[in-house]
Every structure is written in C-alpha cells, then in structure tokens.
Amino acid sequence: METKYLTEKDGDQAAAILRAGGLVGIPTETVYGLGANGLDAQAVAHIFEAKGRPQDNPLILHIPEASWLERYCQNIPAAAWALAEAFWPGPMTMILPRKDLVPDAVTAGLDTVGMRCPAHPVCREIIRLSDVPVAAPSGNTSGRPSPTTARHMLEDMDGRIDAIVDGGPCSVGVESTIIDLTCTPPRLLRPGGITLEQLRSVLGEVAVDPAVTRLLGAGEKPKAPGMKYRHYAPKAPVTVVAGEPARSAAYIAAHAGERDGVICFDEYMSLFTGRAAARPVMDLGPAGDKEEQARHIFDALRSFDHTDVPAIWAQCPDSKGIGLAITNRLNKAAGFHIIEV
Ligand code: AMP
Ligand code: MG
C-alpha cells in the first residue's frame, strides 16, 4: 500500500482513516504511535502485523479526556483520578481493570487495560475527530528504537500503514510512564516522561517493577509483558558505561575500538571526534540536561543502523528524575550489559 503523508492540518483525513479501520502514524509528545480504532479488533490485529509485534504484548488506549476512563475501565480507584488530575494530558499511562467492550486484541487477553490521555495538540485533535479510543503502540518495527520524528517512523512503516501525520519532533522523546493501579502499592512498570518522584508526590508509596532496572531471570515474568522483549536495540551490540561523566568518557575513550560508535554527552564529543577518528559519534545532549538527553536517546540509537559500526558505547545519566527512563532505555538497548566506573 502507499502510505499517505499528512500534515497537522489533515486531522480530519487521519480520523476518517481510523474510523474506516485503517492504520495511521500519529505524533504524540512521547514518541510517534501506530494508531488504530481501539474498539475494532481487526484494525488492532493489523497493528501487530505491521510492527511484527508479539501477540502477547498489549497496547495502550489513547483517550481525549479523563472522563472517558469510565467507558473502558471498572473499579477505578481514587488514585487514578488524582493522577489524571495531576498529569493528564501528558506522558503517563495507567493500568486499570477493563470493561468487556475492550477487545482482547488490545489487552492481549489480560483483564486490565493501559489508558493514556496524550498532550500533543495534533494527536488530541485526531482522537477527538475520530471519536473512538485510539489503540497505539510506538510506531517502530518491533524491537527497534521508538520513532521520535515522522521520518524515523517512515523508515520502519512506509508502505505498511495507510497514512502518517507529521506533527514535528516529539517534545519528550521517551515513551509514557506506565503505572499499575491494580496492585498495592501501585507499581511503576515502565519509567517515562512523568518521573517516579512525581508519581510518589501524588500516590505516596510506589513500588518499582524489577524489570525496570535489571534483566529478569528465567521463569520471572514482568507485569508489563512488553518489558520481557529485547527492545530499543540497534543492530550493533551496545555497552553502557555508567558513572561520573568525566570517568565514563575516559573509560570509553580507552576501550572503544577505532570504528566503534559512541553516544556521549556534549562536553565529551571532542574526545571521540578528534584526530582522524572514522567512527560515528552521537550527541546525547549536555550532561546536566536530562530533558534534552531524553529527546536524543532514540535518534542516537537509531542512527547507528545507517552505519556498519561493530559495537556501540554509551554514556548515561544518573537515574534521578527522567534519568530513570533514559538509563532504562539505554540498559535495555544494551541487554543490561553495563560497566560501572
Ligand atoms: P508501546 O506502546 O510500544 O510503548 O508498548 C506498550 C507497553 O504497555 C508495553 O510494554 C506493554 O507491555 C504495556 N502494557 C499495555 N497494556 C498493559 C497492561 N494491561 N498491563 C501491563 N502492561 C501493559
Ligand atoms: Mg514500543
């Protein structure tokens, strides 16, 4: 099929395609999503086909306002309304008990469903015009880094989806925070644009799922099915070097092969690009600006797939604030191959 390229003025066309059961690439503030009518099981099945996504990995339903929670969820705890009040519209997904009208195709047969109200104005307009909840995972081929521009999404999805709406680069750059409200205490399943500290300021105690910070052992099952898959991974193997920035930069400079790719903070670019270095170096952003790092992380990982680097080395921030989401994505891209210096 030919993928139609739409702009932010074409929200009505995007909505019409969604209502007719088609697939649309949609800009959100986190990453680009691959959207379909979340009440149409067949349309949702096409998402899994286009991405090559494992069938047991559920999707998030995107809604235009918190009041829609009651249409698709039951036994909604007070905590959900408090979180919605604090962080919606925005980069936070809540796991809640679902109602029967949500197709199994969306939830992968679970009795819970992930719900998010996104903040991107173009995304909100498309959902509002389509008047259905939009089921949307990230718009990458399964296993690849998530797309944060329309061009990145087309790299993976051109010819596989009906249309893409270009809404500019994503302002957050990492996927939504997923918080499970069906257990006590609530549990962080995936760190993202809303930080653990922000969640705790509303909820008090919040547990962190082990899959966020380490590789699970054989037989261990993460609560977010998506967390068990190798993820965000470029083709070359990644090594994360964690620790104080000057030390991790020095370590990489001493150990990286001549042709190895490097992801580093602004301040250390010259350490790797100098002399006659042939290697590609990607800038993660200033060491002190994690928001900027979040916007760069997927672009950095993705860019190496246009090269033939044998390996990739990456600096990473500490895990405070949105640093937890950045380190999680880097560590997962590295299969938790992490060196502490
Ligand atoms: P993506 O949209 O590609 O970021 O993927 C959505 C993420 O949400 C995956 O990691 C899923 O496993 C997770 N997810 C969606 N629905 C649920 C649910 N009902 N329970 C737990 N995790 C979920
Ligand atoms: Mg994804």
Rounded distance, CA 258 to CA 316, Å? 21
224, part of any domain:
no
From the CB of 223, is ligand 1 less than 6 Å away?
Answer: yes
The count of structural domains within the chain is 2
222, part of any domain:
no
- Kindly state whether residues 81 and 147 are assigned to the same domain: yes
Q: Does residue 317 register a pLDDT over 90?
A: yes
Quote the ligand 2 centre to 20 CA distance (angstroms). 24
Q: Which of 175, 194, 212 finishes a domain?
A: 212
Q: How much is the pLDDT for 229?
A: 67
- Kindly state whether residues 99 and 63 are assigned to the same domain: yes
- Kindly state whether residues 25 and 79 are assigned to the same domain: yes
Name the percent of the chain lying above pLDDT 90.
90
Quote the ligand 1 centre to 34 CA distance (angstroms). 14
We report the CATH number of the domain holding residue 19 as 3.90.870.10
Distances (CA, A) of 227 to 54, 187, 202: 12, 14, 25
From the CB of 14, is ligand 1 less than 6 Å away?
Answer: no
Q: Does residue 71 register a pLDDT over 80?
A: yes
Q: Which of 169, 194, 212 finishes a domain?
A: 212
Quote the ligand 2 centre to 63 CA distance (angstroms). 18
From the CB of 60, is ligand 1 less than 6 Å away?
Answer: yes
- Kindly state whether residues 266 and 167 are assigned to the same domain: no
- The pLDDT of 267-272, averaged and rounded, is 94
- Kindly state whether residues 206 and 295 are assigned to the same domain: no
Q: Does residue 11 register a pLDDT over 70?
A: yes
Distances (CA, A) of 298 to 128, 158, 240: 28, 19, 15
From the CB of 95, is ligand 1 less than 6 Å away?
Answer: yes
**Residues 319-332: pLDDT tens digits?**
999 999 999 999 99
From the CB of 107, is ligand 1 less than 6 Å away?
Answer: yes
- For 329, the token pair is 């994505």
pLDDT band at 275 (very low <50, low <70, confident <90, very high): low
- The pLDDT of 142-160, averaged and rounded, is 96
- The pLDDT of 166-181, averaged and rounded, is 98
DSSP state of 248: H
Give the three-class secondary structure for 66. Answer: helix
pLDDT band at 277 (very low <50, low <70, confident <90, very high): low
We report the CATH number of the domain holding residue 260 as 3.40.50.11030
226, part of any domain:
no
Q: Does residue 169 register a pLDDT over 80?
A: yes
309, part of any domain:
yes
Among 24-28, 64-68, 209-213, 239-243, name the one with the lowest average pLDDT: 209-213
From the CB of 147, is ligand 1 less than 6 Å away?
Answer: no
From the CB of 178, is ligand 1 less than 6 Å away?
Answer: yes
Q: Which of 47, 178, 212 to mutate to test the pocket of ligand 1 (most atoms within 8 A of CB)?
A: 178
Tell me the average pLDDT of the chain: 95
pLDDT band at 289 (very low <50, low <70, confident <90, very high): very high
Distances (CA, A) of 171 to 151, 285, 296: 15, 14, 10
HEC per residue, 189-232: EECCCCCHHHHHHHHCCCEECHHHCCCCCCCCCCCCHHHHCCCC
Q: How much is the pLDDT for 224?
A: 80
- The pLDDT of 9-26, averaged and rounded, is 98
- Kindly state whether residues 64 and 182 are assigned to the same domain: yes
128, part of any domain:
yes
- Kindly state whether residues 197 and 286 are assigned to the same domain: no
Pairing, β 4-7 against β 163-166: parallel
Quote the ligand 1 centre to 120 CA distance (angstroms). 20
User: Which structural domain, as residue segments, surrounds residue 195?
Assistant: 4-212
Instruction: Please state at what angle helix 196-203 crosses helix 78-87, rounded to 10 degrees.
Output: 130
Q: By C-alpha distance, which of 271, 280, 192 is closest to 236? A: 280
- Kindly state whether residues 259 and 164 are assigned to the same domain: no
Residue 135's φ and ψ, nearest 5 degrees, are -80, 125
Q: Whose CA is nearest to atom 11 of ligand 1?
A: 226
Q: By C-alpha distance, which of 59, 220, 195, 242 is closest to 139? A: 59
CA atoms within a 13 Å half-sphere pointing along the CA-CB vector of 269 = 10
Q: Does residue 276 register a pLDDT over 70?
A: no
Q: By C-alpha distance, which of 95, 92, 51, 107 is closest to 229? A: 51
- Kindly state whether residues 74 and 181 are assigned to the same domain: yes
- The pLDDT of 190-211, averaged and rounded, is 97
pLDDT band at 221 (very low <50, low <70, confident <90, very high): confident
**Residues 110-120: pLDDT tens digits?**
999 999 999 99
- Kindly state whether residues 244 and 207 are assigned to the same domain: no
- Kindly state whether residues 198 and 242 are assigned to the same domain: no
Q: How much is the pLDDT for 219?
A: 82
Quote the ligand 1 centre to 113 CA distance (angstroms). 8
Q: Whose CA is nearest to atom 22 of ligand 1?
A: 224
DSSP state of 175: P
Between 49 and 306, where is the model more confident? 49
- For 234, the token pair is 């470029």
227, part of any domain:
no
- The pLDDT of 191-212, averaged and rounded, is 97
227 CA: nearest ligand 1 atom: 10
- Kindly state whether residues 151 and 21 are assigned to the same domain: yes
Q: Which of 195, 212, 229 finishes a domain?
A: 212
Among 3-7, 198-202, 228-232, 309-313, name the one with the lowest average pLDDT: 228-232
201, part of any domain:
yes
- The pLDDT of 101-106, averaged and rounded, is 98
